[in-house]
Every structure is written in structure tokens, then in C-alpha cells.
Amino acid sequence: MSEQRTTATGGMETAFGFRRVNEGEKQDLVNNVFHRVADRYDLMNDLMSAGLHRAWKAAMVDWLSPSKRSGFKSLDVAGGTGDIAFRIVEASNFNAHVTVLDINGSMLGVGRDRAVKRGIDQNLTFVEANAEELPFEDATFDAYTIAFGIRNVPRIDVALAEAYRVLKPGGRFLCLEFSEVSMPVLDKVYDAWSFNAIPRIGQMIAGDADSYQYLVESIRTFPNQQNFADMIHKAGFSRVTWRDYTGGIAALHSGWKI
């Protein structure tokens, strides 16, 4: 599978699943996917990952270890229905303020409703915008997080440059994303699950196999752990490292703006 993965070199074309499309077209196709799945997104996440996404997200926020002082400002890009932002607010003892940014109003709408139900909406701001063009001043945030979002962005290098720009010096970058599985048996099981079960579950639960086929394919075309670390470093970040979860099904990359 790894020969399908992209590397740090870019071009005007980008991957939409296994198809090559131009960069502008990719964003429209991605937006359609998330408009279609927004209502069922949280349920599907649990079913597709057998609940594992919760453990990976908890590990992300643990590694971030958000400050409990008030005034800590975090930006969660491609924040969707708010999972990471809610966890950061809770881990900060309700002192952090998190801006949830997503290009898709349907996903943000679900997130806003969930935040109100949990009573944490006063710690959150929801912003509809593109990761490639963040509507914030330079050096605004203490932390930048993005979970299962960056592989959907057409120009990853541009999004990384924007992450670097909006972080304060000393700010932390953390990216959780599906990655390359290198364990011999697990890779076969994972392939079978991804290409057979996930689109079928998507059809049954969300009435939409195609969107889930895209999600599976987009995971396989995303750069592997080392190549993505190189991209983060190229964007200016220091001390770039990563941790694999569940044999590399997911990886959490960390970098610092120094």
C-alpha cells in the first residue's frame, strides 16, 4: 500500500482518495463528503474505529497537557464536531479557550449543539474558515491541534505554514492522523477491515458508501510517519517527533515553534 502514499513534494494535483484531482476540485469533493456525513459523523467514528478514536484523542490531549492557567489559547483546526476542543477545555479545568475552526458549516453546527448540551460553549469559539488561510493574526495561539483533518486539506504545506504563523513563539503543534501500519499481521487485518467493512457500515448507517470509501482511500495516500515529520520540519517547526498508536493505525506528530 505504501507506494500510493504521497511525499513531501507537491504539485498542482492532489489525491482525492485514490483519484488524482486538481487542488480546487479536491476541496469541493471533501466538503461534499462532510456535508453528507455530519449528522452521523460521531456514531460512524465509533463504529469505524471500534471506539479507538477516543483513546487516541485522549492521548493527544494528554501529550498537549494544556495549561490550567486562564488565558491559554488553543486552536483546533478541522475541529469538526468538537471532540478535541471539548477535551482540551476539560483538561484545563475549564480555563482554556479553544477556537474550533472548520471549513464545513454542517460539521461546526453539530459541534456547537454538542457544546451547548455539555455547557462548555463559553470556553469555545466556532469559526468557519480554511486551514490554508487562517483568519488570525501572527502569533495568536499557545497551541495548534488538528485531528484526522490534515489529510483532507489539498495543500498540506500551506496549512502547516499557517499553523506555524499563528502560533506564538514557544507554541506547540500537534497533529493526530491515520498513518502507516508496519506490523505484519495487523496490516492485513486493517486492510480487510478498511476496504470491506467500513464502506458497508457507511452504507448501512449513513446510507453513503462512497464517502467512506473516500475516507479509507485518503488514509492510504497520506504521507507516512517519516515523510509527514519531514513536512512539519520543513514548515519551520523544531523538535519534531511522533508516537504511533495501535501499531501505526494512527500517529501523533508533535512540533514546537521556537
Interface positions with ligand SAM (CB under 6 A)? 27, 30, 34, 77-81, 83-84, 102-104, 107, 130-132, 147-149, 152-153
Least Å from the CB of residue 80 to ligand SAM: 3
What is the C-alpha separation between 181 and 251, in angstroms, rounded? Answer: 10
Are 56 and 250 spatial neighbours (Cβ–Cβ below 8 Å)?
A: yes
Residue with Cβ nearer ligand SAM (31 or 183): 31
Least Å from the CB of residue 57 to ligand SAM: 7
Nearest to 4 by CA among 20, 18, 22: 18
> Which alpha helices (DSSP H) does the chain contain, by range?
23-37, 41-48, 52-64, 83-91, 105-118, 156-166, 184-192, 198-206, 209-221, 225-234
Least Å from the CB of residue 40 to ligand SAM: 12
Q: Is 175 helix (H, G, I), strand (E, B) or coil?
A: strand
What is the C-alpha separation between 192 and 2, in angstroms, rounded? Answer: 16
Least Å from the CB of residue 151 to ligand SAM: 8
Are 180 and 224 spatial neighbours (Cβ–Cβ below 8 Å)?
A: yes
Residue with Cβ nearer ligand SAM (132 or 142): 132
Q: Which residue is nearest to ligand SAM (CB)?
A: 80
Residue with Cβ nearer ligand SAM (107 or 235): 107
Residue with Cβ nearer ligand SAM (133 or 138): 133
